[in-house]
Structure 1
């Protein structure tokens, strides 16, 4: 009897595996990692957050459209959103305060964390929120001979519970990100103990990166769907980490006709359970 060729045999084995209950293909697993759906546990307050690199409000169609970015933010309907690349840098239009524009156009309070603030650039991170703000602290992440970087930390009140929210845009080189993650974790360790969320464009595309492992030791759950490039998202650059007191109930990447044009990144949205005070 003639033997079945190896390629045909493996194809038949894969086809048979697909018929088994609970089978998940590689692509199915990738899609499952892009979202989570679940309720906030009983006794916890719901907190809706998002992170988004807005690319100076210049879309992949090369159009400067802060009104379009504001429309996306309004549609997300979150309690707080961390933004990166807000303002004029090498893109967009000069003379427009994008921090103020986005606050007015969305109805949120804007907390600005510029990393470049001079005659040539007003640019950096921002937090837009409709929650009470108890405190804000900028964190300098700049390193010699590299582009100025920073993070913005805010303490927000969620139904009586203070929650630390840190938004950052990390550097392009691994050694740079190593130092920046150290500074962020040092800030958390030096501050008052409280539930903490760290989010932003981390520029980490390797899931085994040591920076991500160090963050996970302190902030054990993470939303990391594929969010870049907006046209065909394959990289998990935009992440939302949460500390152990919080429950990351659900998350998703927001991909629709508007978000696919408004920036080169897609927004990442999450539902987080926060312990109620007392």
Structure 2
């Protein structure tokens, strides 16, 4: 069975027309129609009963949110969110913060798909190259630790990596733990030419196809386009060894 995963930076729900419109964000999420969706720059006014959470749960998604900092409104929260149609187990987040820079957290979770366990991590890296270099080294070390013990052999790392330059460069450490799909450009949404958003795979995962979703709503709802991919998890019990 094919599994559809996606990542999207929703720009706090504020579109290119400078309007805050969560209903528009949700309509795009419906267009994405993925089993797993990692969202960045999410603002919640309530950690348990926010409008976005209610819409997601009504559509059959489990939700997991990790706060990175206070939101723009009094009492609000800013961070990363995972929407999952699969059974979801929350895992402790990984602090990627660099002193003097905006706080960053790696959202970590585990889902089950046809008896196969899949670790899924949602990231939003910093704007400075040296900042991102530190953060990817932290993620690489976290992935290396996951190779031992009772951890899933399948892993997905998705999100906004803020890497403007092509080639391994700042993200070199990640290539030791993951393989990056040749992601299409996603930024800016109305005329993308930079592949800031990406999907990385580890383990026995077969890649089917991917696309950057284009639609009139997508071009205005955020400054990023969603990236979506279709994958298949190999049954590692039948392989006889961990991939």
TM-score, length basis structure 2: 0.88
Distance in 2 of aligned mates of 1:129 and 1:193: 17
- What secondary structure is seen at the aligned counterpart in 1 of 2:50? helix
Structure 1 counterpart of 2:26, from 57, 67, 70: 70
> Does residue 208 of structure 1 match 2:167?
yes
> Does residue 131 of structure 1 match 2:86?
yes
1:221·1:243 contact (CA, 8 Å) conserved in 2?
no
Alignment match, 1:272 = 231
Distance in 2 of aligned mates of 1:126 and 1:51: 10
Alignment match, 1:100 = 50
Listed as ranges, the gaps of 5+ residues in structure 1 are 1-44, 89-94
Choose 1 or 2 for highest CA Rg: 1
1:121 CA displacement: 4.4
Distance in 2 of aligned mates of 1:99 and 1:236: 33
Listed as ranges, the gaps of 5+ residues in structure 2 are 238-243
- What secondary structure is seen at the aligned counterpart in 1 of 2:181? strand
With over 3 angstroms needed to count, the CA separation of the structure-2 counterparts of 1:112 and 1:206, relative to structure 1, is same
What pairs with 1:1-278 in structure 2 (closer than 5 Å)?
45-87=1-43, 95=45, 100-106=50-56, 107=59, 108-117=61-70, 119=74, 121-191=76-146, 192-276=151-235, 278=237
1:117 CA displacement: 4.0
Alignment match, 1:34 = none
1:97 CA displacement: 6.0
Distance in 1 of aligned mates of 2:7 and 2:48: 17
Distance in 2 of aligned mates of 1:60 and 1:46: 33
Alignment match, 1:8 = none
Which stretch shifts more, 70-79 or 187-196?
Answer: 187-196
1:247 CA displacement: 1.4
1:245·1:275 contact (CA, 8 Å) conserved in 2?
yes
TM-score, length basis structure 1: 0.77
1:254·1:267 contact (CA, 8 Å) conserved in 2?
yes
Aligned residues: 228
1:75 CA displacement: 1.7
1:181 CA displacement: 0.5
Alignment match, 1:25 = none
Deviations 1:215-239 (A, max 9, x none): 1232124241100001110100000
With over 3 angstroms needed to count, the CA separation of the structure-2 counterparts of 1:256 and 1:195, relative to structure 1, is same
Distance in 2 of aligned mates of 1:228 and 1:184: 24
